[in-house]
Each structure stands twice: as C-alpha cells, then as structure tokens.
Homo-oligomer: A and B are copies of this chain.
Amino acid sequence: MEDINERARTKLGTGRVADYIPALAEQDANKFGIAICTNEGEVYAAGDAQEPFSIQSISKVFLLTLSLRVYGNELWERVGLNPSGMPFNSLTQLEAERGKPRNPFINAGAIVVADRLVSAFATPSKHLRDVARKLSGNESILIDARVQESEWQHRSRNAAMAYLMKSFGNIDNDVDQVLHSYFSCCSLAMSCVDLAVALNYLAADGHAQAMGEPFIAPDLARKINSIMFTCGMYDAAGDFAYRVGLPAKSGVGGGIVAIVPGKLSVCAWSPALDENGNSVAAQYALELLAEEMVRQQLGH
C-alpha cells in the first residue's frame, strides 16, 4: 500500500481539479489517499485515506443499490443497462431514446433513480446518508451543505435533463425536489476508508462488513458489479476495463471505488482529473494494484 501511495503521488500535478462548481474547485490537488477493505474485514490505508471528500458520482452506486432494494427489476423499466457511448451529461441520446437514460451511472440515469427514491422515502437524502453511515460504521458522515448549494446554483445542465425526461413522462415528482435530493446525495463527504468499507458488500456477495449482516442478495451484488464494469467510468469505461479490468465507479471529486469480487473493495482518491473526469492518480493507483494482484496470482 505504501509503495502504491508513493508511486501514485508521482502523478500529482497531472490533470485538473473539477471546476464546474466553485465548491469543488477549491480542493487541494496534492491530496492522495487509498484504502482497502478485505472480505475478512481487514482495512489497509495509506496517504490521505481518512480525509473526507465529496463522493459525487460514487453516490450513484448507493442510489442504485437502494432503488434496486425497493423496486427490484421493475427499476429497469425506467432506466437501461447498457453503456451510453456518449458524454455523461449528453441530452442527444436521451432525446432519441424518449427520455429513458441508458444506464444508472450517467447523470440522467441517476436522476431517474433519485426520482424513484423520492417516491419511496419521505426524506430520501437523509435515508441515503443514514445507510452510508451504517455501511461504513462511521456515524459522523455528513452531507456537505456548501457543495449541495453550489450544485443547486449550477444546476442548469442537470435541470435540462430532468425536464427533458419529465416531458417524456419518466420523472414522477417535481423536478426541483428531485434535483435537491440528487444533489444532496452527490454532496456526501466520505473518506477512502469510509467508502472501501461501505461498498465492500459488492465484493462480498452482498454481505455488509460493518453491519455484520446481508445487505443485498449475492446475485444483485454481481449484477451491480457488471454495470460498474461496463458503465462505471464515464465514457472511458472500456479504456479502464482494458487497463485495470475491475468493476469501478468514479466521481468528479476525485474518488474511484473498485471491486475485486470475492476478495476486497478499494477506494483511491486524488482531486486532479483527466479529460474524461476520472482522477489521474487514483486510476494509476488502481492500475498498479491490479498489476500486483495479477503478478501474485500467476506466481502461484
């Protein structure tokens, strides 16, 4: 871990911190952290692994999991399962496909999922925050109100998508309410350790480490991993699959979570992003980790 930490830090200085909202633009580009949580419950961490950051699109994994728990396969009537082949905030495909987003990991898809949760829960963002706390075993996890407000102020693109979907009948609730819920989930602040522990259920056939009990069915965990593999890294999913070969989900806050099914979950974080919106140093760290694991496996 320390070796990966050191080598990944050589990438600091490459890439650009997200600037589409002011609250994110202030992040320190020199931060880097990494944490692993094994299915046996051991946690290894290095660098700034305890520092909370804005999880942004990693929240789409929580949104999807909660929504599948409520709606099951019915959810797929509202959102697809296939790679979009387009930028994460594109409206072109959404229009051509009459308001049904390609998958739950592009913005439009996550907004539909948020709408489903608004229908199911009185306070969906509070519910999601509480689940994040339980899954990570960290009761101090908060929604960052400043990030949330900044998202709202700069909502135009997401509002355009939400209204387009509503025009096709694929949003049931008030657009403003859905966007508020969506932004509050994106604004959760969690650390590498929090996320590695919280998402370990995807590595452990649905068993939640910190809760000590099953969270979702084994089958469902595998299915979510498949979607992460094909759609988790914006429009660089194929490149990442080629280089790293693991199910993963990234966020513009600089975090990336990856899953080694049956073995472990890992979260790397560093704020500077490449042109696809994925953290440069975090990707590199996961690439090093994947190579190391292959080396060990072939060694046996």
Residues of chain B within 8 A of A159, CB atoms compared? 159-160, 163, 175
Chain B residues in 8 Å Cβ range of A81: 238-239, 241-242
Q: Is the CB of A298 closer than 8 A to any CB of chain B? A: yes
Prevailing SS type, chain A contact patch? helix
Smallest CB separation, A35 vs chain B (Å): 24
Q: Which of chain B's residues has its CB closest to A238's CB?
A: B82
The answer to whether the Cβ of A14 comes within 8 Å of any Cβ in the partner chain is no
Mark out the residues of chain A between 60 and 98 whose CB falls within 8 Å of any chain B CB in the assembled complex: 80-86, 90-93, 95-96
> Would you give the shortest CB distance from A172 to chain B, in whole angstroms?
12
Chain B residues within 8 Å of A85, by CB:
82-86, 93, 102
A205 to B160, CA, bound (A): 40
CB atoms of A160 and B156 under 8 A apart = no
Which residues of chain A (162-187) have a CB below 8 Å from chain B?
162-164, 166-167, 175
* Contact yes or no, A227 B241, CB < 8 A: yes
**A236 to B239 alpha-carbon distance, docked (Å):** 19
Q: Is A137 an interface residue (CB 8 A)?
A: no
Q: Can you give 21 A-B contacts (C-beta < 8 A)?
A: A81-B238, A82-B237, A83-B85, A83-B230, A91-B91, A91-B92, A91-B160, A91-B164, A92-B92, A92-B96, A103-B238, A156-B167, A157-B163, A160-B160, A163-B163, A219-B294, A223-B242, A223-B245, A226-B245, A227-B241, A227-B242
